[in-house]
Amino acid sequence: MMISKFIDAHVHLNTTSIEKMELALKYNASFLSINTNIPFFESITNQKNIIQDLQSKYPGRIQFITSFDFRNWGKENFASEAIQQIEAGLNNGAVGVKIWKDVGFELHDKEGNFVMIDDPVFDPIFEYLIENDILLIGHQGEPRNCWLPLEEMTVDSDRNYFREHPEYHMYLQKEYPSYEQQMKARDNMLKKFPQLRYVGLHLFSMEYNINEVAKRLEIYPNTKTDVAERVVHLQLQAIGNWEGVRDFCIKYQDKIMYGTDVIDDGTIASKEISERFEHLWNFHYDFFATNKTMEAPEFKGKFKGLQLPKEVVKKIFYSNAKKTYQFD
């Protein structure tokens, strides 16, 4: 039985189809939709318009995060223009700002070097966020599997994706920054701006080891994390370290938020999107809240649900996101 009300605090609702919203009413669920500067997404403005349309039809069910693009990259006014875009998003109701992995993978300086998130060019943006107490959420790097050979990857979902998309498989792309460089740059940014309120998405991109996630939550006290598209990595670790995964969730119960990272962009039928939400919500809830013996399609082996205390489940699935993302 699913929790009586919860928040899926990491989705991308880029269509106005209503099936997922009707499902949310059925489950008493809400969404945090994250506008992101992704080439195959709608523009940030169009993403915002779609969310506002859904908000008008389903009041109180959606909050959203804004972002900024790089149209003025390399120009003197880049940072000021980015801040203007952020302000516009916030004025339209956004509850925070996202910075995506294109920083570290796609941006180059005048000499052709990759630009990382700790580059001084971004400092005015982070200073603006601190001065105005604005939340930053970040997806930096990728799963560590991205830098491993296919046979060494830990879950089939990563293995199959990078087999089909070798252009994104960093093990094959030697000229790109390493996994360690990506994580170091993110950590450097947090060291430089300790007052920044930051959510390290996808278990800080350190999903392979809960101890590494825990270190960041300890060292950077203004940070939180979410489990979006990384629950499978907690399940995998639960095979050999069930108590460790459970203890991690209990110790950091005020800093972990639930999310699925389902992308609703029109390429999948709205009924299928709704069914995917329903499957993931129940499958993930069983893992966190019950002691069922379970299996996941991404790896071999059985694992047991964590059976977290009810108050911990409520924080992970609801209370933390409600506070962090300003839900009513």
Angle at 273 (CA atoms; ends 153, 304), nearest 5 degrees:
50
If you count them, how many residues does the chain have? 328
Q: Is 307 exposed, middle or buried (0-12, 13-18, 19+ CB in 10 A)?
A: middle
Contacts of 304 by beta carbon, 8 Å cutoff, 6+ apart: 238, 242, 291, 292, 293, 294
CATH 3.40.220.10 fits 6-277+309-324, yes or no: no
Is 150:163 a contact under the CB 8 Å cutoff?
A: yes
Q: Which helix (H) or strand (E) holds 278?
A: helix 270-289
Kindly give the confidence (pLDDT) of every residue in the chain, 328 residues in length, as a single tens digit, with 9 standing for 90 and above.
688 999 999 999 999 999 999 999 999 999 999 999 888 899 999 999 999 999 999 999 999 999 999 999 999 999 999 999 999 999 999 999 999 999 999 999 999 999 999 999 999 999 999 999 999 999 999 999 999 999 999 999 999 989 998 988 999 999 999 999 999 999 999 999 999 999 999 999 999 999 999 999 999 999 999 999 999 999 999 999 999 999 999 999 999 999 999 999 999 999 999 999 999 999 999 999 999 999 999 999 999 999 999 999 999 999 999 999 999 8
Each domain of the chain, given as residue ranges in start order, spans 6-277+309-324
φ, ψ dihedrals at 139, nearest 5°: -115, 100
Q: What interhelical angle do 44-57 and 78-91 show, nearest 10?
A: 10
Q: Is 110 exposed, middle or buried (0-12, 13-18, 19+ CB in 10 A)?
A: exposed
